[in-house]
């Protein structure tokens, strides 16, 4: 399996951080960056990471199943994560979630028909003092209101058109 | 230099439920309690495998420790005061079981494990009478992972025993855990199916009905079966297997009672390869060739016909040739060899030899205690495997070495023509083509000299003078060395020990008038009678004597039977009593589990032929008890302790060579190279073995 | 990104937050940066540990274990390599402080690691950052590159003869990896399932080698301890509770934010002065004081000096410093449910009581929230939580059980009230099937 030059460089950089014989340590970060490029964790990716990190594909598979950010299903181009944990719940996170579900017509870990946006109701994202928060990919949005959420979704949908 | 004498470590004193106990330091509390007869319940704890502390059933109160402690991870310590039967503990156990049952389906009435289920037993003993759980249970559909293994995630309690049995026990690592939290489940190495040994260790070790076998699934209830402990009839390792029998049908094999030399270990053949007994091609009537075709006839007609023929050939001084099988019982081999020599006045008897036991016994002549037992392989500090893909060809021996490395940090060395599983944990694994092993061995000499002791296991590449060369090399190491000469089948060793060779009488005594070897028999154009007893020497070979009268005792219409003039349908090892001797020279008892209508044991067939010939008194009584008595009395090395045999244990033989060299005809010694999924003649008729995707497998696979 | 500072704050580890380019090495070096490390080089490991003990610095990740003692457990005679590992897996609900420390002052963290490495004789360290914080990984990577470029990392650091390599390591979404042994498993490329302890990481941590593993804030506090001296640092707080810490206030206050205050700072003052009181003039109902794992406090209980010992006296925890403030309109049943949904989602599944207990509780609380609760459910919730407490493999089970017990015990009336709102009486047909 081959990756873009930038990703390949990143993967090699990650791989080089761990001592000889401990390359298994690179499994999780490598999967994260590989997934960023491919859009999901594929069987080929599992085999490739296993080969590079000197473990069995099963050992990679176990990891993929465990971590909530590793997805075997393809998520949207924009993976919009809405936190509804306590601090966000107290400040309107639940309402944001309901609004997004209604507006996009998709639920938790589902993708819009055009593949553009996926939604995930996430656990505490670490923005409690600036709640509620929405994370688009890796980009944090704080003090989000329904209006701000609409603006975000508008901008995502406009970018494509 | 004096060896420091280390005193045995002082025992640790501690108290459980008011009972003062002692145990060696380092003993886990759960084991110490078990030895004292105090049961600490546990699902995930399993002796011999790594600790998990996951099921939380073994929580106990320990004085001076604020929280409950897991007895499975806590080593006993001096003065420790433990309570295992308090109200708090009872409540904790009850609570944990209640949690466990929330998502476990209560389909016990149809579950295979019903009646043998550890969860059932625990709930019965420690659980609540009713459930307060009124929510919807999580459910996931059952999956089939191979022709052998089914997995029902809903029933799985995530004790991780299967994962450890596969990874640590088998060295395969085909099972893992995926997902997280309450939807965690066991996952096979090929996403939706298994690529593994298909041994079923995961199924047997499962405390509930989450892993079930295709052979036993929904077939019967455990209490409807009879459980017969006998010895696996496939390879030479001699694993005890307990056959579950219902209505004269074997429905499962396992060794959950850990009796025998193999403990719980069995491979796919031992657990599931019993199905050849019920193959529809099984012969159930004697046959005589009439007008070129084999026709079913009565036993008396077939026996009379053979006896007449044998008598006339004997009277005419014609040549007999006898091929003995390597799955026969010791009694059958001894009786056949005796009848051939005394009754048929011939030493033309041989079997397909698969390892050079004869030269090894000769090379070691006069030494005591130099043949390793299966148990030795678990306790030795070092072992050297030469020319065998042990995990494939001798799975129990490989299992023992793996456990030895895991538990005792034993050093394992291999010298093999290709990659082997042992390399995953060995101290050194060298590859050397057959015939070039000694160059590789020289590289190991210095490391091995530093070991305290060694067991050498060698395959068929080491034979004849190379065996003597090996022993000489090992003598040069200056450390105690024991040996295992690897042979192929369940009684390959007994065949050598008990006279089924042309130049050795039972007990390695020289035959004063040596006969023809198997190759010589097959090539003798003037052979008058060829008699194959539980053997199929004509597979892929021709009998030179076109006119020879051929008698075959067999379970199936194999190549020899197809050439035969008379065919006798014989019983399998699972239908016989008697004894067999395994690869390490340990004798164990067979116990008939079933009967197949129309068949007779080979012992009985031979006896009846002798009787028809009027030679009953020469051959002797054809019951296994009588023959065994004779072996026990007469055969050097077989004076084994009878109580061991009677109680189903293994008794080590002590073969001794009288210093007489015989021509072992090294060119005739060759292993069939069976894998985990092939088993000589028997494997052909096991649908289970031939149906797994790993079949036929390969040795030294990368 | 951070809130306006408050005059009542005592800024020790957050003092550079407002500076221009605060994350750059130039800014750091201009403001006492790496001076504590140079000081540490002149000290013996014992002296460093003594200063830490004197400072009474306690772990800021949640458990509050004395840092000096933790570092002193590293065996000196062990021939194995030693490791420094930073826990930046900040995921305790209510906590958002490590983010700020990395975003605004990454070199402070690097310096803390350097000092740890110098103390235990370690050449390699990792900063385990939760996968969601990708932008922080980028910031941290940049800071590490700067540190290498300036000779503060790598071989023979600043001519001291010390070598130390430090790398970031991305997580991939698992609260459980905040537990130190689970973090180490994850760092080794495995499922984030905790290990059996003992042995503790100080003896057998990363790659079964001695490992110092601390929270970001703890490492960040170390340079300050050495700079100020242990005693001066300790004097900022209360006895046995030295120094300052970042408190993350969220929920229904007028000025939520992350504030650095000395240990022992009054909670009342925090809520009503620093954070400007409850929003919209509402009354305070309750506070979850130290992340979602800490048992809730009623309004009446929210009046004590916030140091480790006083939290304990209040039968709750300082935890990770995540204070979630709830006004009088807050639906406690909903909060209890959301809390349990979190733990059920994050339970690693390894042990039975946590795996099954969190899910069962989540199901009951969901029913209760949806209006199909039963009277017996309230006691059942309480009892099931107690059945988890102290019996699970790792602290996650307790973290789920403790707040639940507190919610039921302190706000039972709210649960009772929910029964009166029950819309669907008795059990649903689905539930009857499930009983089967």
CB B182 to CB C350 under 8 A? no
Lowest mean pLDDT among A121-125, B8-12, C101-105, C132-136: B8-12
Mutate to test the interface with B, among C349, C367, C370 (most CBs of B within 10 A): C349
Average pLDDT, chain B: 96
pLDDT tens by residue, B235-269: 999 999 999 999 999 999 999 999 899 999 999 99
Interchain contact A112–C (C-beta under 8 A) = no
The total of other beta-carbon atoms located within 10 Å of residue A73's CB is: 11
Cα distance between residue A122 and residue B527, in whole Å? 84
Q: Where would I find the H helices in chain A?
A: 5-15, 27-38, 43-53, 57-66, 86-90, 93-104, 146-160
Average pLDDT over residues A44-52: 98
Interchain contact A54–B (C-beta under 8 A) = no
Interchain contact B62–A (C-beta under 8 A) = no
CA angle C214, C220, C224 (to 5 degrees): 125
Q: Which helix (H) or strand (E) holds C249?
A: strand C244-251
Question: How close B509 gets to chain C, by Cα (Å)?
Answer: 58
Q: In the block, which residue shows the tokens 């975003």?
A: C103
Cα distance between residue B684 and residue B130, in whole Å? 51
Interchain contact C375–B (C-beta under 8 A) = no
Interchain contact C361–A (C-beta under 8 A) = no
Average pLDDT, chain C: 95
Top pLDDT among B381 and C424 is at: B381
Q: Which two tokens stand for residue B564?
A: 């035969």
Q: Residue C207: its chain A contacts at CB < 8 A?
A: 19, 22
Q: Which two tokens stand for residue B691?
A: 């149906």
DSSP 8-state code for residue B42: -
Pairing mode, strands B69-70 and A139-141 = unpaired
Cα distance between residue B585 and residue B634, in whole Å? 17
**CATH no. of B287-354+491-688:** 3.40.50.740
CB pairs under 8 A between B and C: 108
pLDDT band with cut points at 50, 70 and 90 for residue C63: confident
Chains with 3+ CB–CB pairs under 8 A to C are A, B
Average pLDDT over residues B65-94: 96
pLDDT at B662: 87
How many percent of chain B have pLDDT more than 70?
99
**Angle at which helices C412-420 and C395-410 cross, to 10°:** 70
**Backbone φ and ψ of C275, nearest 5°:** -95, 5
Tell whether domain C244-327 is in CATH 3.10.20.600: yes
CB A65 to CB B174 under 8 A? no
Q: Tell which C residues from 391 to 410 touch B, by Cβ distance under 8 Å.
A: 391-393
Closest CA to B569 of B543, B539, B534, B593: B534
Average pLDDT over residues C7-31: 96
pLDDT at A129: 97
pLDDT tens by residue, B139-193: 999 999 999 999 999 999 999 999 999 999 999 999 999 999 999 999 999 999 9
Q: Residue C135: its chain A contacts at CB < 8 A?
A: 138-140
How many percent of chain B have pLDDT more than 90?
96
pLDDT at B1: 40
| Residues B559 and B350: beta-carbon distance below 8 Å | no
pLDDT at C424: 53
pLDDT band with cut points at 50, 70 and 90 for residue B660: confident
User: What residue spans in chain C does CATH classification 3.40.50.11540 cover?
Assistant: 25-235
Residue of B nearest to C348 (CA): B181
**Backbone φ and ψ of A95, nearest 5°:** -65, -40
Q: In the block, which residue shows the tokens 């050849």?
A: B276
Residue C416 has pLDDT above 70, yes or no: yes
Q: Where would I find the H helices in C204-260?
A: 216-228, 230-235
pLDDT tens by residue, C267-320: 999 999 999 999 999 999 999 999 999 999 999 999 999 999 999 999 999 999
Pairing mode, strands B293-296 and B287-290 = antiparallel
Interchain contact C396–A (C-beta under 8 A) = no
The architecture in CATH of the region B357-486 reads 3-Layer(aba) Sandwich (3.40)
Cα distance between residue C8 and residue C14, in whole Å? 13
Residue B620 has pLDDT above 50, yes or no: yes
CB C356 to CB B59 under 8 A? no
CB B187 to CB A58 under 8 A? yes
For B426-450, letters b (16+ CB in 10 Å) and e give: bbbbbebeeeebeebbeebeeebee
Residue C434 has pLDDT above 70, yes or no: no
Task: Tell me chain B's radius of gyration from C-alpha atoms.
Answer: 28
Q: Which two tokens stand for residue C287?
A: 């506070």
Closest CA to B674 of B594, B603, B583, B589: B583
The architecture in CATH of the region C332-435 reads Up-down Bundle (1.20)
pLDDT at B578: 98
The total of other beta-carbon atoms located within 10 Å of residue A107's CB is: 12
pLDDT at C2: 72
Question: How close B29 gets to chain C, by Cα (Å)?
Answer: 15
Residue of C nearest to A35 (CA): C172
pLDDT band with cut points at 50, 70 and 90 for residue B131: confident
C25-235 CATH fold: Rossmann fold (3.40.50)
pLDDT at B5: 56
For chain B, the residue count is 702
Residue C423 has pLDDT above 70, yes or no: no
| Residues B125 and B215: beta-carbon distance below 8 Å | no
CA angle B451, B454, B458 (to 5 degrees): 135
Residue C433 has pLDDT above 60, yes or no: no
pLDDT at C435: 37
DSSP 8-state code for residue C4: P
Residue B693 has pLDDT above 50, yes or no: yes
Tell whether domain B110-278 is in CATH 3.30.70.20: yes
Residue B6 has pLDDT above 90, yes or no: no
CA angle B167, C131, C29 (to 5 degrees): 125
B12-85 CATH fold: Ubiquitin-like (UB roll) (3.10.20)
Cα dist from B359 to B110, B138, B434, B472, B497, whole Å:
56, 63, 19, 13, 12
Q: Tell which C residues from 288 to 307 touch A, by Cβ distance under 8 Å.
A: 288, 292
Q: What share of chain A is helix, strand, coil (3-state, %, to 5)?
A: 50, 15, 35
CB pairs under 8 A between A and C: 152
Q: Residue by residue, what is the 3-state secondary structure of B102-154?
A: HHCCCCCCCCCCCCCCHHHHHHHHHCCCCCCCCCCCCCCCCEECCCCEEECCC
Cα dist from B658 to A20, B470, B504, B517, whole Å:
56, 20, 11, 21
- CB-nearest partner of A138 from C135, C251, C288: C135
The SS3 assignment for B341 reads helix
Residue C357 has pLDDT above 90, yes or no: yes
Cα distance between residue A64 and residue B180, in whole Å? 10
Diameter of chain C by CA atoms?
A: 76
Cα distance between residue B580 and residue C40, in whole Å? 73
Q: Residue B68: its chain C contacts at CB < 8 A?
A: 390-391
Question: Domain extents for chain B?
Answer: 12-85, 110-278, 287-354+491-688, 357-486
Residue C426 has pLDDT above 60, yes or no: no
Contacts of C280 (CB under 8 A, 6+ apart): C327
Report all structural domains of chain A as residue ranges with CATH numbers, in order of start: 5-66 (1.10.10.1590), 78-160 (3.40.30.10)
Contacts of C112 (CB under 8 A, 6+ apart): C218, C219, C220, C221, C222, C223
Q: Which two tokens stand for residue C280?
A: 């919209």
Strand partners, B319: B527
CB C434 to CB B73 under 8 A? no
- CB-nearest partner of C171 from A28, A139, A140: A28
User: What residue spans in chain C does CATH classification 1.20.1440.230 cover?
Assistant: 332-435
**Backbone φ and ψ of C332, nearest 5°:** -65, -35
pLDDT tens by residue, A80-113: 999 999 999 999 999 999 999 999 999 999 999 9
Q: Tell which C residues from 157 to 216 touch A, by Cβ distance under 8 Å.
A: 167, 169-175, 186-192, 207
Interchain contact B69–C (C-beta under 8 A) = no
Cα dist from C328 to B33, B345, C253, C280, C286, whole Å:
54, 108, 12, 11, 8
Mutate to test the interface with B, among A65, A67, A72, A109 (most CBs of B within 10 A): A65
Interchain contact A73–B (C-beta under 8 A) = no
> How remote is the C-alpha of A76 from its chain's centroid?
10
| Residues B187 and A60: beta-carbon distance below 8 Å | no
Sign for the CA dihedral angle at B324, B328, B329, B332 comes to negative
User: What residue spans in chain C does CATH classification 3.10.20.600 cover?
Assistant: 244-327
Closest CA to B221 of B302, B143, B144, B112: B112
pLDDT at B129: 81
Mutate to test the interface with A, among C84, C87, C93, C211 (most CBs of A within 10 A): C93
């Amino acid at each position: 399996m081959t990756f873009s030059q930038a990703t390949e460089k990143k993967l090699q950089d990650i791989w080089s951080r761990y001592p000889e014989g401990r390359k298994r340590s690179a499994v999780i970060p490598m999967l994260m960056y590989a997934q960023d490029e491919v859009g999901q964790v594929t069987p080929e990716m599992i085999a490739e990471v296993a080969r590079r990190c000197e473990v069995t594909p099963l050992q990679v598979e176990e990891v993929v199943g465990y971590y909530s950010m590793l997805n075997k299903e393809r998520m949207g181009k924009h993976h919009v994560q809405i936190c509804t944990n306590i601090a966000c719940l107290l400040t309107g996170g639940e309402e944001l979630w309901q609004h997004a579900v209604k507006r996009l017509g998709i639920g938790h870990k589902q993708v819009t028909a055009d593949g553009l946006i996926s939604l995930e109701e996430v656990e505490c994202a670490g923005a409690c003092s600036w709640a509620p928060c929405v994370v688009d990919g890796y980009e944090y949005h704080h003090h989000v209101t329904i209006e701000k959420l609409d603006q975000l979704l508008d901008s995502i949908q406009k970018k494509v058109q | 230099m004096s060896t420091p004498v280390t005193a045995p470590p002082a025992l640790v004193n501690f108290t459980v439920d008011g009972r003062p106990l002692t145990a060696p330091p380092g003993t886990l509390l759960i084991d110490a309690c078990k030895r004292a007869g105090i049961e600490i319940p546990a699902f995930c704890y399993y002796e011999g495998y790594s600790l998990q502390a996951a099921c939380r059933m073994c929580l106990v109160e320990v004085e001076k420790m604020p929280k409950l402690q897991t007895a499975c991870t806590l080593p006993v310590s001096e003065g420790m005061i433990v309570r295992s039967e308090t109200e708090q503990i009872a409540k904790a156990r009850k609570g944990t079981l209640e949690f466990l049952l929330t998502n476990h389906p209560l389909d016990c009435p149809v579950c295979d494990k019903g009646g043998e289920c550890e969860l059932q037993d625990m709930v019965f003993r420690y659980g609540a009478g009713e459930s307060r759980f009124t929510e919807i249970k999580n459910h996931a559909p059952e999956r089939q992972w191979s022709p052998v293994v089914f997995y029902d995630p809903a029933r799985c309690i995530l004790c991780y025993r299967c994962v450890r049995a596969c990874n640590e026990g088998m060295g395969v690592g085909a099972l893992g855990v995926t997902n997280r939290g309450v939807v965690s489940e066991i996952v096979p190495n090929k996403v939706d199916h298994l690529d593994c040994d298909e041994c079923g260790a995961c199924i047997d070790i499962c405390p509930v009905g989450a892993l079930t076998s295709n052979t036993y699934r929904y077939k019967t209830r455990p209490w409807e079966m009879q459980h017969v402990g006998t010895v696996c009839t496939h390879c030479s390792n001699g694993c005890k297997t307990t056959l579950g029998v219902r209505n004269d049908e074997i429905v499962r094999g396992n060794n959950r009672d850990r009796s025998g030399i193999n403990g719980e270990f069995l491979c796919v053949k031992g657990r599931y390869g019993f199905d050849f007994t019920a193959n529809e091609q099984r012969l159930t009537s004697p046959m005589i060739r009439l007008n070129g075709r084999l026709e079913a006839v009565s036993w008396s007609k077939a026996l009379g016909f053979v006896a007449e023929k044998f008598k006339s050939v004997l009277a005419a001084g014609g040549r007999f040739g006898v091929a003995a099988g390597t799955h026969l019982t010791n009694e059958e081999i001894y009786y056949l060899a005796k009848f051939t020599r005394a009754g048929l006045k011939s030493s033309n008897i041989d079997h397909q030899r698969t390892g050079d036991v004869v030269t090894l016994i000769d090379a070691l002549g006069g030494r005591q205690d130099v043949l390793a037992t299966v148990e030795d392989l678990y306790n030795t500090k070092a072992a050297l495997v030469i020319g065998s893909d042990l995990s494939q060809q001798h799975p129990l021996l490989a299992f023992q070495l793996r456990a030895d490395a895991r538990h005792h940090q034993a050093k394992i060395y291999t010298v093999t023509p290709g990659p082997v599983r042992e390399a995953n944990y060995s101290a050194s694994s060298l590859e050397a083509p057959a015939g070039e092993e000694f160059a590789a061995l020289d590289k190991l000499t210095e490391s091995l000299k530093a070991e305290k002791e060694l067991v050498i296991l060698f395959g068929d590449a080491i034979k004849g003078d190379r065996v003597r060369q090996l022993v000489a090399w090992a003598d040069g190491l200056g450390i105690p060395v024991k040996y295992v000469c690897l042979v192929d089948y369940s009684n390959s060793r007994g065949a050598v020990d008990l006279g089924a060779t042309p130049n050795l009488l039972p007990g390695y005594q020289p035959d004063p008038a040596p006969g023809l070897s198997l190759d010589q028999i097959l090539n003798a154009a003037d052979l008058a009678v060829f008699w194959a007893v539980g053997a199929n020497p004509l597979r892929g070979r021709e009998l030179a004597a076109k006119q020879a009268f051929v008698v075959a005792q067999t379970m199936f219409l194999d190549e020899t039977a197809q050439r035969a003039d008379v065919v006798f349908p014989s019983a399998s090892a699972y239908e016989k009593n008697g004894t067999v001797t395994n690869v390490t020279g340990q004798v164990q008892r067979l116990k008939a589990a079933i009967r197949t209508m129309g068949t007779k044991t080979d012992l009985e067939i031979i006896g009846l032929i002798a009787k028809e010939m009027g030679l009953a008194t020469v051959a002797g009584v054809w019951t296994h008890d009588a023959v065994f008595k004779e072996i026990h009395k007469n055969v050097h090395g077989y004076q084994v302790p009878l109580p061991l045999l009677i109680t189903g244990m293994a008794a080590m033989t002590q073969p001794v060579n009288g210093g007489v060299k015989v021509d072992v005809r090294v060119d005739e010694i060759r292993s069939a190279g069976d894998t985990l999924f092939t088993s000589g003649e028997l494997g052909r008729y096991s649908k289970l073995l031939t149906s797994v995707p790993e079949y036929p497998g390969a040795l030294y696979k990368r | 990104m951070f809130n306006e500072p408050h005059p009542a704050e005592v800024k020790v580890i957050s003092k550079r937050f407002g500076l221009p380019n605060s994350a750059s090495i130039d800014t750091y070096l201009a403001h006492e940066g790496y001076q504590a490390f140079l000081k540490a080089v002149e000290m013996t490991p014992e002296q460093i540990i003594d200063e830490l003990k004197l400072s009474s610095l306690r772990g800021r990740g949640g458990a509050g274990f004395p840092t000096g003692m933790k570092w002193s457990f590293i065996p000196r005679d062990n021939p194995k390599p030693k490791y420094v590992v930073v826990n930046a897996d900040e995921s305790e609900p209510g906590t958002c402080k490590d983010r700020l420390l990395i975003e605004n002052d990454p070199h402070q963290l690097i310096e803390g690691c350097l000092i740890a490495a110098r103390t235990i004789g370690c050449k390699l360290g990792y900063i385990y950052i939760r996968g969601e914080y990708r932008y922080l990984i980028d910031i941290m990577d940049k800071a590490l590159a700067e540190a290498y470029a300036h000779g503060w990392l790598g071989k023979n650091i600043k001519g001291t003869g010390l070598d130390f390599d430090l790398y970031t390591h991305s997580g991939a979404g698992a609260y459980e990896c905040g537990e130190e042994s689970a973090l180490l498993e994850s760092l080794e490329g495995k499922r984030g399932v905790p290990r059996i302890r003992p042995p503790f990481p100080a003896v057998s941590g990363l790659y079964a080698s001695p490992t110092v593993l601390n929270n970001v804030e703890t490492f960040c506090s170390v340079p300050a301890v050495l700079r100020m001296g242990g005693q001066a640092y300790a004097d900022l707080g209360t006895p046995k509770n030295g120094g300052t810490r970042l408190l993350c206030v969220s929920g229904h206050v007028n000025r939520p934010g992350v504030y650095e205050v000395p240990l022992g700072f009054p909670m009342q003052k925090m809520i009503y002065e620093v954070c400007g009181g409850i929003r919209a003039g509402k009354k305070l109902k309750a506070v979850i004081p130290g992340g979602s794992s800490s048992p809730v406090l009623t309004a009446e209980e929210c009046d004590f000096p916030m140091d480790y010992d006083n939290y304990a006296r209040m039968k709750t925890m300082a935890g990770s410093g995540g204070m979630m403030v709830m006004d009088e309109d807050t639906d406690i049943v909903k909060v209890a449910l959301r809390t349990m949904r979190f733990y059920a989602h994050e339970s690693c599944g390894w042990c039975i009581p946590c795996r099954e207990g969190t899910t069962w509780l989540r199901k009951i609380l969901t029913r209760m929230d949806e209006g199909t609760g039963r009277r017996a459910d309230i006691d059942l919730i309480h009892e099931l939580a107690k059945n988890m407490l102290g019996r699970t493999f790792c602290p996650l089970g307790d973290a789920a059980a403790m707040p639940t017990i507190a919610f039921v015990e302190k706000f039972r009336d709210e649960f009772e009230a929910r029964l009166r709102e029950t819309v669907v009486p008795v059990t649903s047909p689905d539930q009857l099937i499930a009983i089967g």
